[in-house]
C-alpha cells in the first residue's frame, strides 16, 4: 500500500511539473500583435529625458582631430550639448562603452571613429536650428532620419561660435 502511494505521488508530481512547463509555453505561443511589433523593434539606446542639475561635461576640442567632418561634428556637439544629452546613439555605445547618451560620444574620442555618432550629431544640430525640441529630435533619430544627413556639407571647416 505504501509503495502505491509513492508511485501515485510521483505520478502527480510529474503531471504537475509538465503542466507548469507547458502552460507558459502555450500562453507565449499566442502573442498579441503589439508583442510581435515590440519583439521585432530594435531597443532604443540609453538617453536622458531631462537635463542634470549640474553642468554638462565638456566635449573634446575639434583641434584634436584631422578630418574636417569630425572637427565640425565636435564643434557642433559643443554648441548643442543640452540636446545631445537627451538623445540616444544607435551605434549602441551604451552597451559597448557604457554611454548614457549621444553627448558621451563627444566627451571622449568615440565619435571620431563612428559614423553613426557623427551623423546623429549633425542631424541633431540641423533639427535644433529648425526649432525642434530634444524630444522631437529623439523621435526622428529613432525613425532613422539621421541616416539621410548629407555629411559632404560638413567637409569644409566651420567657424568657431561667436562668444
pLDDT tens track for 57-91: 999 999 999 999 999 999 999 999 999 999 999 99
Taking a C-beta distance cutoff of 8 angstroms, is the pair 117, 26 a contact?
A: no
For the chain, which residues score pLDDT lower than 70?
A: 1-41, 159-163
The per-residue pLDDT for 31 is 32
Query: Which sequence spans correspond to the domains of the chain?
Result: 2-40, 62-154
pLDDT at position 43: 87
What whole-number percentage of the chain has pLDDT above 90?
64
Residue 9 exposure: Cα atoms within 13 Å on the Cβ side: 6
Report if pTM > 0.85: no
Q: How far apart are CA 70 and CA 91, in angstroms?
A: 16
130-140 tens-digit pLDDT: 999 999 999 99
129 DSSP assignment: H
Tell me what pLDDT residue 7 has: 61
What are the start-end ranges of the H helices in 41-109? Answer: 68-79, 81-84, 93-96, 103-107
Question: Which helix (DSSP H) or strand (DSSP E) does residue 134 occupy?
Answer: helix 134-142
* DSSP state, residue 73: H
Sign of CA dihedral 86, 90, 94, 99: negative
Amino acid at each position: 500500500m505504501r509503495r502505491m502511494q509513492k508511485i501515485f505521488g510521483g505520478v502527480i508530481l510529474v503531471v504537475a511539473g509538465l503542466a507548469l512547463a507547458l502552460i507558459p509555453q502555450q500562453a507565449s505561443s499566442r502573442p498579441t500583435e503589439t508583442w510581435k511589433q515590440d519583439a521585432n523593434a530594435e531597443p532604443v539606446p540609453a538617453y536622458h529625458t531631462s537635463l542634470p542639475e549640474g553642468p554638462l561635461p565638456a566635449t573634446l576640442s575639434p583641434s584634436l582631430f584631422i578630418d574636417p567632418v569630425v572637427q565640425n561634428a565636435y564643434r557642433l556637439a559643443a554648441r548643442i550639448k543640452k540636446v545631445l544629452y537627451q538623445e540616444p546613439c544607435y551605434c549602441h555605445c551604451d552597451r559597448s562603452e557604457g554611454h548614457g547618451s549621444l553627448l558621451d560620444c563627444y566627451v571622449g574620442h568615440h565619435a571620431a571613429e563612428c559614423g553613426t555618432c557623427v551623423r546623429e550629431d549633425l542631424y541633431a544640430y540641423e533639427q535644433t536650428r529648425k526649432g525642434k525640441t530634444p524630444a522631437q529630435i529623439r523621435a526622428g533619430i529613432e525613425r532613422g532620419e539621421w541616416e539621410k544627413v548629407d555629411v559632404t556639407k560638413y567637409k569644409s571647416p566651420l567657424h568657431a561660435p561667436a562668444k
